[in-house]
């Protein structure tokens, strides 16, 4: 069964979201921070078709620009998690022995610390910014990535071609980088997708409790916090950012799931 | 059993020790001087006063000494004092923890009930419309952040129908009915967040059990599908789900942070958030230690429970860790 990229709806959705966020300056009808008091708390109208917030700022424009921040943070965090996690898991999986034991115990211990709490500590110490948030979120996502990478590497190393490569005298570094890595790439891609979803969720959560992106800048989480505070005035204000976050997380999770299913069916058909 | 218990206890303790060290170190390594944070905006602080304060707080001692004295104090139930209110952290945490435990209890209760209804329903006829609807809803449920579920619930039940209050807390001792009314939305929010994990897990293990010979025998005896499902398959798939439940209790304890904040419940989660705003590291550290201990304790207890229920697990686990 061949994986048809073109027919992957979730993949298309991710591209669409990325495209919309990139093109925000072109697509947004208004300046996201332009205040128009006359439109305050407006519901969806022809003028502000996702409504306007308490200062009359256009919600649609704010969501487009907020998406840029959210997606940027999520992408950076995912990359950081991938780098740290893969290295971590790779070393554990290749070295084995006490190194493995130590690294994986550390992963267990890190996972026992509640994510939100750890993020609270970090963010309160260094402040929330577009630099610190990806690092914090990335670090939080790396232990799960490490576990995944380790188990993939361990399985891969037990396969016949690795034995053959070792027997033929291939250097270990070369074996890992040019043979094993490409083979675990699909699993990494699945993890990448799941991590992206988790990063969007974490950033939104942090911003929602007020410890993420600070006004006047706004990510989707910040928009939801502002909307939630005014939920008794107008529910449009909180509804659309919440919808945007949910759709994005769903798309990333579904994409990861899709690749995994394709991978599994391929493996079982071999 | 004794060996199994000891082994599990040792591994739990080692994870606990490591995460405690991690929490402690990360708070110390991060920039942001607790002493400066304590002084806050107070101006005209002389360098001498700073040194004195550091000395008083023991912050000029070597890191390892600080770590061990903190752990030693923690064992004696002393988690230090809040940098701001000067109240003992132990007191702050223990005042607030009943609320957190109450919400967590209701969350788990709702999640377990829902999972026990939905998972058998979807295994009754795999691939049927019911199964697929449940499958899609759990996939979506896994992707929706807890607070978004909360927002939707508030929009429906507080704003539109005006059935339930959306904020606040009244202690059980004051008014039981009002207390429970205020607990409904937070509990359902958390419950709906946790349910998809449980349903997925329980469904998978039920499908696995369904393949066993004893199920075929039961079917061969001519028992009805429903009876086979509830008397034979379900009890046998509960053991692996128990492990998962332990994890979920742990995750709920930390996920409850956001729920408490959003519904204005005065539990340890909102305590952590308030302290984070004030950079009150002593309190955050204390809350983190409490939640981590609860997390590790619940997973430990649930593992032991599994070992009691299913003796095979004791052996399998022990052998696995030796390989």
Report B:83-122 residues touching A (Cβ under 8 A). Answer: none
DSSP string covering A97-134:
HHHHHHHHHHHHHHHHS-HHHHHHHHHHHH---TTHHH
DSSP string covering B201-243:
HHHHHHHHHHTSHHHHHHHHTT--HHHIIIIIIHHHHHHHHHH
Taking the C-alpha atoms of residue B128 and residue B255, their distance in angstroms, rounded to an integer, is: 33
H helices of B58-166, in order, are: 63-75, 89-124, 129-143, 146-153
Report B:255-314 residues touching A (Cβ under 8 A). Answer: 255, 257-258, 261-262, 272-273, 275-277, 279, 281, 284, 287-288, 291-292, 295-296
- Cross-chain residue pair B155–A112, CB shorter than 8 Å: no
In SS3 terms, B146-159 reads as HHHHHHHHHHHHHH
Residue of A nearest to B257 (CA): A116
- Taking only the tens place, the pLDDT of each residue in A112-142 is 777 888 888 788 777 778 888 899 899 989 9
- Cross-chain residue pair B276–A211, CB shorter than 8 Å: yes
Residues shown for chain A:
270
Instruction: Report the share of chain A in percent with pLDDT over 90.
Output: 13
- Cross-chain residue pair A231–B26, CB shorter than 8 Å: no
Q: Which range is most confident: B105-109, B159-163, B252-256?
A: B105-109
Q: At which residue do the structure tokens 């002493």 appear?
A: B35
How many CB pairs lie under 8 A apart between chains A and B?
Answer: 138
Output the pLDDT for position B34.
60
Contact status of A169 with chain B (Cβ, < 8 Å): no
Output the pLDDT for position A82.
93
The candidate with the shortest Cα–Cα distance to B287, out of A29, A169, B278, is: B278
- Cross-chain residue pair A253–B261, CB shorter than 8 Å: no
Partners of A223 on chain B (C-beta within 8 Å) are none
- Cross-chain residue pair B27–A121, CB shorter than 8 Å: yes
The candidate with the shortest Cα–Cα distance to A218, out of A73, A43, A37, is: A73
Confidence of residue A168 (pLDDT cuts 50, 70, 90): confident
Partners of A197 on chain B (C-beta within 8 Å) are 143
- Cross-chain residue pair B18–A105, CB shorter than 8 Å: yes
Of A113, A116, A253, the CB nearest to B257: A116
Of A112, A224, A249, the CB nearest to B292: A112
Partners of B30 on chain A (C-beta within 8 Å) are 121-122, 125-126
Taking the C-alpha atoms of residue A49 and residue A64, their distance in angstroms, rounded to an integer, is: 13
Residue A58 β-bridge partners:
A52
Output the pLDDT for position B110.
92
Confidence of residue B37 (pLDDT cuts 50, 70, 90): low
- Cross-chain residue pair A121–B16, CB shorter than 8 Å: no
Residues shown for chain B:
323
**Letter string b/e over residues A185-218, b meaning 16 or more CB atoms within 10 A of that residue's CB:** ebbbbbbbbbbbbbbbbbbbbbbbbbbbbeeeeb
- Taking only the tens place, the pLDDT of each residue in A173-199 is 888 888 888 888 888 888 999 999 999
CA dihedral A132, A134, A136, A138 (to 10 degrees): -150
Of B142, B155, B258, the CB nearest to A205: B258
Partners of B250 on chain A (C-beta within 8 Å) are 112
Q: Are B243 and B201 in contact (CB under 8 A)?
A: no
| pTM metric for this prediction | 0.83
Q: What is the mean pLDDT of chain A?
A: 82
Residue A259 structure tokens: 């690749």
Output the pLDDT for position B30.
65
- Cross-chain residue pair B281–A121, CB shorter than 8 Å: yes
**Letter string b/e over residues A72-103, b meaning 16 or more CB atoms within 10 A of that residue's CB:** bbbbbbbbbbbebbbebbbbbbbeeeeebeeb
Residue A92 structure tokens: 């554990």
CA A261 to chain centre: 20
- Taking only the tens place, the pLDDT of each residue in A237-254 is 788 888 889 999 989 988
Q: At which residue do the structure tokens 């061990």 appear?
A: B68
- Decide which of B182 and A73 is more confident: A73
Q: Are A62 and A32 in contact (CB under 8 A)?
A: yes
Of B22, B155, B254, the CB nearest to A114: B254
- Taking only the tens place, the pLDDT of each residue in B156-208 is 888 778 787 777 777 777 777 777 778 888 889 889 988 998 898 888 888 88
Report A:45-104 residues touching B (Cβ under 8 A). Answer: none
- Cross-chain residue pair A125–B23, CB shorter than 8 Å: no
- Cross-chain residue pair B292–A228, CB shorter than 8 Å: no
Partners of A228 on chain B (C-beta within 8 Å) are 147, 151, 262
Partners of A110 on chain B (C-beta within 8 Å) are 19, 22
Fold for A14-41+48-267, please state it: MetI-like fold (1.10.3720)
Which are the contacts of B308, defined by CB distance < 8 A and separation ≥ 6?
Answer: B1
Q: Which range is most confident: A193-207, B89-103, B272-286?
A: A193-207
- Cross-chain residue pair A238–B18, CB shorter than 8 Å: no
Partners of B296 on chain A (C-beta within 8 Å) are 112
Q: Using alpha carbons, list the distances in angstroms from residue A249 to A176, B13, B101, B130.
A: 32, 35, 29, 24
Q: Are B104 and B249 in contact (CB under 8 A)?
A: yes
ipTM: 0.79
Q: How far is A74 from chain B (nearest CA, A)?
A: 15
Q: How far is A15 from chain B (nearest CA, A)?
A: 18
| Cis peptide upstream of residue A216 (ω within 30 degrees of 0) | yes
Of A117, A211, A253, the CB nearest to B142: A253
Q: Where are the domains of chain A?
A: 14-41+48-267
Upper half-sphere CA count for residue A54 (Cβ side, 13 Å): 12
Report B:13-72 residues touching A (Cβ under 8 A). Answer: 14-16, 18-19, 22-23, 26-27, 30-32
- B147, B265, B269, B284: which to substitute to probe chain A, counting the most A Cβ within 10 Å? B147
């Amino acid at each position: 069964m061949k994986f048809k990229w073109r027919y992957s709806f979730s993949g298309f959705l991710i591209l669409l979201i990325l495209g919309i966020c990139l093109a925000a300056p072109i697509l947004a009808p208004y300046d996201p921070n332009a205040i128009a008091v006359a439109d305050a708390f407006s519901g969806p109208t022809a003028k502000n078709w996702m409504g306007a917030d308490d200062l009359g700022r256009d919600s649609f424009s704010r969501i487009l620009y907020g998406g840029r921040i959210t997606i940027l943070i999520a992408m950076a965090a995912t990359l950081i998690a991938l780098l740290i996690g893969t290295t971590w898991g790779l070393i554990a999986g290749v070295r084995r022995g006490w190194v493995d034991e130590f690294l994986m115990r550390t992963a267990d211990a890190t996972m026992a610390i509640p994510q939100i709490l750890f993020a609270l500590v970090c963010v309160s110490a260094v402040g929330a910014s577009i630099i610190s948030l990806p690092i914090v979120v990335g670090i939080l996502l790396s232990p799960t990535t490490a576990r995944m990478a380790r188990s993939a590497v361990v399985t891969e190393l037990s396969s016949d071609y690795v034995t053959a490569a070792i027997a033929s005298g291939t250097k270990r570094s070369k074996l890992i980088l040019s043979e094993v890595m490409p083979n675990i790439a699909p699993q990494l891609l699945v993890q990448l997708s799941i991590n992206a979803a988790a990063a969007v969720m974490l950033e939104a959560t942090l911003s929602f409790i007020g410890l993420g992106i600070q006004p006047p800048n706004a990510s989707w989480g910040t928009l939801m916090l502002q909307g939630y505070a005014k939920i008794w005035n107008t529910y449009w204000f909180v509804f659309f950012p919440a919808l945007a976050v949910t759709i994005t997380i769903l798309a990333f999770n579904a994409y990861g799931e899709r690749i995994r299913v394709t991978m599994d069916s391929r493996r079982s058909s071999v | 059993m004794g060996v199994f218990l000891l082994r599990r206890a040792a591994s739990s303790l080692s994870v606990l020790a490591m995460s405690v060290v991690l929490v402690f170190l990360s708070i110390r390594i991060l920039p942001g001087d607790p002493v400066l944070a304590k002084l806050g905006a107070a101006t005209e602080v002389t360098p001498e006063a700073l040194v004195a304060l550091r000395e008083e707080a023991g912050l000029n001692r070597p890191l390892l000494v600080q770590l061990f004295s903190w752990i030693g104090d923690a064992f004696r139930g002393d988690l230090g004092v809040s940098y701001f209110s000067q109240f003992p952290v132990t007191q702050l945490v223990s005042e607030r923890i009943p609320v957190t435990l109450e919400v967590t209890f209701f969350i788990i209760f709702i999640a377990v009930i829902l999972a026990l209804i939905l998972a058998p329903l979807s295994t009754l006829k795999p691939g049927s419309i019911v199964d697929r609807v449940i499958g899609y809803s759990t996939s979506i449920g896994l992707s929706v952040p807890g607070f978004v579920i909360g927002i939707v619930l508030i929009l429906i039940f507080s704003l539109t129908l005006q059935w339930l209050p959306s904020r606040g807390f009244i202690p059980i001792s004051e008014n039981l009915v009002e207390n429970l009314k205020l607990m409904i939305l937070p509990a359902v929010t958390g419950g709906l967040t946790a349910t998809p994990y449980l349903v997925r897990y329980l469904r998978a293990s039920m499908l696995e059990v369904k393949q066993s010979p004893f199920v075929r025998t039961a079917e061969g005896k001519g028992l009805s599908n429903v009876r086979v499902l509830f008397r034979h398959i379900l009890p046998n798939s509960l053991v692996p789900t128990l492990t998962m439940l332990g994890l979920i209790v742990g995750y709920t304890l930390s996920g409850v942070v956001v729920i408490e904040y959003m519904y204005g419940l005065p539990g340890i989660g909102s305590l952590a958030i308030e302290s984070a705003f004030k950079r009150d590291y002593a309190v955050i550290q204390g809350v983190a230690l409490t939640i981590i201990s609860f997390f590790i304790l619940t997973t430990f207890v649930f593992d032991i429970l599994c070992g009691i229920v299913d003796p095979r697990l004791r052996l399998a686990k022990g052998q696995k860790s030796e390989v």
